[in-house]
Structure 1
Amino acid sequence: MNTSPIKKRHGLQRVWYAAGYSLKGLRAGWHEPAFRQELLLSLVLIPLALVIARQWLEAVALIGTVVLVMITELLNTAVESVVDRVGPEWHELSGRAKDMGSAAVLLSLLLCGGVWVTAVVRWWWY
């Protein structure tokens, strides 16, 4: 059995290569319209979180939900890529995997929206 070259690396060299693969993944995500929109929106929401948050924990919740949406979007895109790689023909399990990935993105967006609406309302009226 062939062993991946990454498995042979240790210490800082492994961390260095892993960081490179992660950046490659972020660049690949940039080519997905949904991820690009969420990333651009995060450039507005993350600084705004620091303005409207009254406590550090509130800032963490606001920023964390935004980052969670981007993480979920990347994972959904990964699932879709793997399913598409397996084959173009329709299969019930392939459709289910894609639908569940989409549902995960929806739930993360609802969570993010709920946290942000609550924080903005609290900031505006109190």
Structure 2
Amino acid sequence: MNAPEVNPQKRRRGVSRVWHALFYSLAGLRAGWGEPAFRQEALAAFLLVPLAFWVGEGWVEVALLIGTVVLVMVVELLNTGIETAIDRIGPEWHALSKRAKDMGSAAVLLSLLLCGGTWLAALWVHAKELL
């Protein structure tokens, strides 16, 4: 006898699968909004994305500035997913759980450093041109 399928998404195909995936993604963004770090990064994005059109010279620079901001948010969501999955396994301390959480946190740090460095370089060039 076949075991019942747990996830109905696995049976969907084509447009139906994409349509349902959209709503899962929106639910993920709503869940992310409940995390203070993601909320701070999203609020920063509301300021930085429009600013990118003023700071960037050409579409490549604008795309890089916006891309680094979005990258931070993506990595934060992945880090939160890792932390949530680890917490679901159990609240007790375990070396592998700590390692996974620390690596997720390091990924966020690296994305923030990339974003900050990219923006500082662009602002430096822009400030030199204004002077």
Using structure 1 for the length normalisation, give the TM-score: 0.98
Superposition deviation, residue 2 in structure 1: 3.3
Superposition deviation, residue 12 in structure 1: 1.1
**Equivalent residue number for residue 63 of structure 1:** 66
2:26 and 2:44 map into 1 onto residues whose CA distance is 19
1:2 and 1:48 map into 2 onto residues whose CA distance is 51
List runs of 5+ in structure 1 lacking aligned partners: none
Root-mean-square deviation (CA, aligned residues, Å) is 0.7
Query: Which residue identity is paired with 1:12?
Result: V
Bigger-Rg structure (1/2): 2
**Equivalent residue number for residue 52 of structure 1:** 55
Identity, % of aligned positions: 60
Superposition deviation, residue 55 in structure 1: 1.2
Task: Please state if 1:85 is matched with 2:75.
Answer: no
**Equivalent residue number for residue 2 of structure 1:** 4
Query: Which residue identity is paired with 1:47?
Result: P
2:105 to 102, 107, 119: 102
Task: Please state if 1:37 is matched with 2:40.
Answer: yes
Query: Which residue identity is paired with 2:4?
Result: N
2:55 and 2:112 map into 1 onto residues whose CA distance is 20
**Equivalent residue number for residue 120 of structure 1:** 123
Superposition deviation, residue 52 in structure 1: 1.1
Q: Which runs of 4+ in 1 moved over 3 A?
A: none
Query: Which residue identity is paired with 1:73?
Result: E
Task: Please state if 1:76 is matched with 2:79.
Answer: yes
Using structure 2 for the length normalisation, give the TM-score: 0.94
1:115 and 1:35 map into 2 onto residues whose CA distance is 20
Query: Which residue identity is paired with 2:11?
Result: K
Query: Which residue identity is paired with 1:99?
Result: D
List runs of 5+ in structure 2 lacking aligned partners: none
